[in-house]
Amino acid sequence: MKFYLAPMEGITGHIYRRHFNELYKGVDKYFTPFIATNQTFKLKNREKREIDPKINEGMVVVPQLLTNNAQQFIWYAKEIKKLGYNEINLNVGCPSGTVVSKHKGSGMLIDLEQFDNFLETIYSELANDLSISIKTRLGIENFDDLEKLIEIYNKYPMNELIVHPRTRMDFYKNIPNYNAFKEVCEKSNKNIGYNGDIKISDDINKIITDFKDYNVDSIMIGRGFLTNPMLVENYLSNKPDTNIDCDRLKEFVAKLFEDYVRDYTACSDAINRMKELWFYILEPFSDYNEVKKYAKKIKKAKDKDVYETTVNNLIVTLKNITL
């Protein structure tokens, strides 16, 4: 089984990926947060930096594109290939209202005929030069068109179909629909990846055990890695999920913050970026009053010294907690 770091807008950018790869084990591929194509046919400086091969050296990185315009996809894919990338991922999963209203992300599933035409165009143009994988949801409001969607995907030579078995209306709520995922596994002729609510080792075991007879060979993890960057490392070494290396965590968040401070004009922007990550990291400790106290201080922090002092004290507290 291969393990992938999911693309999460605003969090799993090049800084996060680089330091995660330095300090933690278990990730076979890193997917970039989506690059939204535009009619100028020009990569923004921020996007160029995100996929700069030098920044991503030592990792297998897959750029992800968000678009419903085939010609834009083709142009961006060719530009990205010039940088040395051999795989592009198409985002057919984002449930954001502003994205879906433009028939992008999971909104592409609103009109399957139009989506089929889009895929026909990009694969006809690029299939001989690039691997195009797809990360997809399985419907808008329900799974009524699932069989038709599988038939469409089966037509094209994608190297991998990564499935998040929810509808767009589910967002990230409700339980992933394993029956729908099983139907994909049974009827698809592709290598299948699973994505959705992988938070602990038992979740990994469930996918491996329940779908061992199908062509599922990868698991993509997003929020589970944010909460516990040792998730797969613990799983592979048969250690409990409660195994948390606080010294390594301290080094990780310190390196992230240092680079965010360097990357952003205002230190407050770097602090805000860390606040979002701490929300996930502290989720397993939500019942501990001492942790809640420091979580509130981090949430209110606006000053660099206040933030760093609070984090250092928090790490000491975490060391003394047994989950």
* Per-residue pLDDT tens digits for 264-278: 989 999 999 999 999
Confidence band of 124 (pLDDT split at 50, 70, 90):
very high
Confidence band of 228 (pLDDT split at 50, 70, 90):
very high
Report strand pairing: 131-136 vs 216-221: unpaired
Single out the residue of 313, 321, 4 nearest to residue 162, CA to CA.
4
* pLDDT for res 298: 97
Structure tokens at 248: 């390594």
Phi, psi of 175 (to 5 degrees): -85, 135
Indicate whether 323 pLDDT > 90.
no
194 touches 209 (CB < 8 A): no
Q: What interhelical angle do 304-319 and 289-300 show, nearest 10?
A: 160
Residues 6+ apart with CB under 8 A from 10: 33, 273, 276
* pLDDT for res 79: 97
- Cα 49 to Cα 45: distance, rounded to the nearest angstrom: 6
Confidence band of 2 (pLDDT split at 50, 70, 90):
very high
* pLDDT for res 265: 86
Indicate whether 218 pLDDT > 90.
yes
Structure tokens at 259: 């680079």
- Cα 39 to Cα 73: distance, rounded to the nearest angstrom: 10
Distance set, CA 168 to CA 96, 99, 174 (Å) = 8, 11, 11
Tell me the pLDDT tens digit for each residue of 15-39.
Answer: 999 999 999 999 999 999 999 999 9
- Cα 220 to Cα 135: distance, rounded to the nearest angstrom: 10
- CA dihedral (127, 132, 137, 141) in degrees, to 10, reads -40
85 touches 109 (CB < 8 A): no
Indicate whether 315 pLDDT > 90.
yes
* pLDDT for res 78: 97
269 touches 10 (CB < 8 A): no
Q: What is the largest distance, in Å, between two alpha-carbon atoms of the chain?
A: 58
Q: Return the CA Rg of the chain.
A: 20
Structure tokens at 234: 């613990």
DSSP string, 34-96: PEEP-TT----HHHHHHT-TTTTTTS-EE-EEE-S-HHHHHHHHHHHHHTT--EEEEEE----
- Of the chain, the end-to-end C-alpha distance in Å amounts to 28
Confidence band of 253 (pLDDT split at 50, 70, 90):
very high
Residue 195 C-alpha from the chain's centroid:
9
Q: Which helix (H) or strand (E) covers residue 302, if one does?
A: none
User: Could you tell me which residues are beta bridge partners of residue 51?
Assistant: none
Average pLDDT over residues 154-162: 97
Confidence band of 322 (pLDDT split at 50, 70, 90):
confident
Q: What is the mean pLDDT of the chain?
A: 96
Confidence band of 205 (pLDDT split at 50, 70, 90):
very high
Phi, psi of 59 (to 5 degrees): -130, 155
- Cα 245 to Cα 253: distance, rounded to the nearest angstrom: 12
